[in-house]
A and B are shown apart, each in its own frame.
Chain A
Amino acid sequence: MNELYIIAAGSMVAISCGLLGCYLILRKMAMVGDAISHAVLPGIVIAFLIAGNRDSVTMLLGAGLIGVFTTFLIEFLHRKGKLQSDASIGVTFTWLFALGVILISVYAGQVDLDQECVLYGEIAYVPLDLWILEDGTNLGPRTLYVLSFVLVGVVTFILLGYKELFLTTFDPAYAAAIGISATLWHYLLMGAVSFTTVAAFESVGAILVVALLIAPPATAYLLTDDLKVMLLITVGLGVVISILGYYLAASIDASIAGAMSTVAGLLFALAFLFSPSHGIIFKKQIAEPTPDALSS
């Protein structure tokens, strides 16, 4: 049963991250996603200090807002400060992450976070952290509720905003020209990434969230030319990664999140090499696109 809980938690994290990650990689914002997942750490610590526990929704909100703030800060350094974009990202997230780690070590007593666990989480605790009501009813692992909430949120966001996200990702100039604000959807997307990384933090930690944001979408990108299929493949990969990662970690007694990332990387490698449409082994055999046919 515990296994199931852990794998379920892992799958939900992987799916939420993967779905959003599809848009991140198509927008060439993979590293901004990386930055956000690091930058939320001080927000989490501060929220922890204020709220006193990790249950509150306020933690999710407050820390998530820091993620959006990070996006602003990166833009600010780049636009106003004229700092090149890669350095804007690098300076911002390292600073915020360092801040987070310092806060953890300084407030070690009051904050139930371990500075190494923030890197790779501890998903194995999921079955142990139970949501028990005042009357003693055991509703099961608390984390699963939080993650389901986030997953539903992410899916709803993508469904409702499907065509706006599609357009602003593919051609932001045309979007602006027909009156759809690319900026708005950018911040909405980054906001969604923020909240998801905060929720995922506990289970898989900062760095591994990045693996789940990027690797499954990148793998799916090599397997299909249709965005809808890409999103579905990412979901499937998320579940597979979670299952395989769990058993890999169990067999060698190592971090589950670390194992999940490793599996994600291996799956990508397989796609990179063997994808029927884009794998390098088969690429030579794919016909060149037909030369421009004459039309009336």
Chain B
Amino acid sequence: MNDLLQFLSFEDPNTRYVVTGTVLLAISSAIVGSFTFLKKKALVGDAVAHAVLPGVCLAFMLAGNKNPVYLVVGAFITGWLSLVIIDQIVARSRIKEDTAIGLILSTFFGLGIMLLTKIQHSGNAAQSGLDSFLFGKAAALVGTDVIVFSTISIILLVVVFIFFKELTLIAFDEDFAKSIGFPVRRLELVLTTLTVMAVVIGIQAVGVVLMAAMLITPAAAARFWTDQLKVMLLLAAIFGAFAGVFGAYVSYTAPAMPTGPWIVMIISIIAMFSFFFAPRKGILYKMVKQRRIQKKIRDENILKMFYQLGEVDGDFFSSRTSDILAERRELASGQLSSGLSRLKRHGYLKSEHGSWQLTIEGKNKGQRTIKLHRLWELYLTQYLHIAPDHVHDDAETIEHIITPELEAKLEKLLEYPDVDPHMSKIPYES
């Protein structure tokens, strides 16, 4: 706990560097990654991330030291090269895109590993820490490194801002963009460069192996909360930043630990949470919604039953016992009684000594459902030419979903008919 407070107070200038650096890196990856996510090119980022390793190693081998500028240039070159090669392979041979991505990813990385291990075995003292590019080490973000990477990060964000409109369009609808004369190829180039740059600086914190997660996962998580691009970018940035801070904290408490896996762990948890619990799109949310719909259907069916009993008797408001109701329609007794209670709560039914009656609202609602059922049956027989004995099941579902606007249209289209295909009277509101 003390550690955490100490960390959050940002007293230690090192901590400030590391946090600033990691957060900026995370934010730029998340934002650039959102565009590749929307273009459904998420895994290309994975290929780039793996492909920068040989570049880093070669730069080291040529320069003899870990000067960040050289490493960035080396990484950038092989990263860019990998994308060009993937494109060429797909364009000029029958190799498909997923194969090309996997191929370049693994062979470039293999080359990188080969070079890295060679460097490690060569005993060159300057190489220690080069392997932190594999899994990232936020703690290594100190001094000039931070300045270089943070600057690049900010440049990336500025470029995204400048080209926001254009990037949005090519992510959304490339063909349309071409048709209105956008220089799509040049914009693709911009996005590609941004992606490679984001990867090159991001690997400091997260490492090569898990970099893809920093591009994809924040965007995937954010996507579940909103349909608006700007909001999605903002959320992706926030999620990424949060994960980044966490990674910095890990580095603070355990400097020898690689930070990459922890950052990815956190962002993945955020993503899983989003997949399940986000409103409207979340899986759990959908399940709850389904449950709610089932209840609505059940309740309306119960009211329908009352109404139909009333049609037979001539009296809509007489009392019914739950046995009579259970006879009429197959309902699990638990569901019937909970439905009855719910309807009472909402004022559609009242109860007295164990038997139930419709209220006026209840009668109207049941009547409307029956009306919609019969109108829809008529519609199916007249306009879809479906046999009268086949329309009942369909109407059983649709009667619960027709809105008042559609109801009006339906009535008008059928010219306010009196009876349904089975000669039952269609009840209109008095």
Contact = CB atoms under 8 A, between A and B. Distances in A.
| A touching B, CB within 8 angstroms | yes
Nearest to A279: B93
Interface string A88-110: 01110011011101100100000
A115 B113 contact: no
B89 A272 contact: yes
B37 to A, nearest CB: 6
Interface in A208-247: 208, 210-211, 213-215, 218, 221-222
A270 interface: no
Nearest to A261: B110
B96 A25 contact: yes
Interface string B83-123: 00000010011111011011101111111111111100110
Interface string B215-229: 011011001000000
Contact of A94 (B217, B219, B281): B217
Nearest to B216: A90
Among B43, B108, B265, which residue has the most Cβ atoms of chain A within 10 A? B43
Contacts, number: 198
A210 B102 CA distance: 7
Interface in B42-89: 42-43, 46, 50, 89
A29 B265 CA distance: 25
A31 B212 CA distance: 13
Consensus secondary structure, chain B interface = helix
B10 to A, nearest CB: 26
A87 B42 contact: yes
A33 interface: yes
Contacts of B98: 25, 28-31
Contact of B210 (A28, A94, A255): A94
B205 interface: no
Given A83-B220, A86-B41, A280-B93, A119 B209 contact: yes
B118 A31 contact: no
Nearest to B269: A95
A215 B95 CA distance: 11
Interface string A243-255: 0000011001111
Q: Contact residue range for chain B?
A: 35 or more
Contact of B117 (A77, A213, A258): A258
B378 interface: no
Among B98, B109, B134, which residue has the most Cβ atoms of chain A within 10 A? B98
A262 B261 contact: no
A89 B43 contact: yes
Given A29-B98, A254-B117, A259-B114, A91 B271 contact: yes
A105 B102 contact: no
B96 A254 contact: no
A208 B110 contact: yes
Contact of B107 (A83, A119, A261): A261
A208 B106 contact: yes
A277 to B, nearest CB: 10
A81 B287 CA distance: 11
A221 B94 contact: yes
B113 A255 contact: yes
Interface in A110-140: 115-116, 119-120
Contacts of B262: 98, 102
B283 interface: yes
A258 B102 contact: no
Contacts of A33: 102
Interface residues of A, number: 59
Contacts of B246: none
Interface in B235-294: 257-258, 260-262, 264-265, 268, 271-272, 275, 281, 283
B121 A211 contact: no
B40 interface: yes
Contact of A91 (B40, B41, B111, B220): B220
Interface in A8-59: 25, 28-31, 33-34
A254 B106 contact: no
B312 to A, nearest CB: 44
B306 interface: no
A126 B258 CA distance: 28
B110 A94 contact: no
Given A101-B135, A119-B209, A215-B103, A86 B43 contact: yes
Contacts of A31: 43, 98, 101-102
B213 interface: yes
A82 interface: yes
A81 B272 CA distance: 10
B131 interface: yes
Nearest to A85: B40
A203 B121 CA distance: 19
B55 to A, nearest CB: 14
Contacts of B106: 34, 207-208, 210-211, 214-215, 261, 265
Contact of A215 (B94, B107, B260, B272): B107
B99 A218 contact: yes
Given A91-B216, A102-B262, 20 more contacts: A25-B99, A30-B101, A31-B43, A34-B105, A81-B283, A83-B275, A84-B37, A86-B42, A87-B220, A90-B213, A95-B268, A98-B264, A115-B258, A119-B209, A210-B102, A211-B110, A255-B117, A264-B110, A268-B103, A272-B93
Interface of A: 25, 28-31, 33-34, 77, 80-84, 86-87, 89-91, 94-95, 97-99, 101-102, 105, 115-116, 119-120, 207-208, 210-211, 213-215, 218, 221-222, 248-249, 252-255, 257-262, 264-265, 268, 272, 278, 280, 283
- The 6 A-B residue pairs whose C-beta atoms are closest, nearest first, are A261-B110, A265-B107, A258-B114, A258-B113, A211-B106, A94-B213
6 contacts: A25-B95, A95-B217, A97-B261, A115-B258, A214-B106, A278-B94
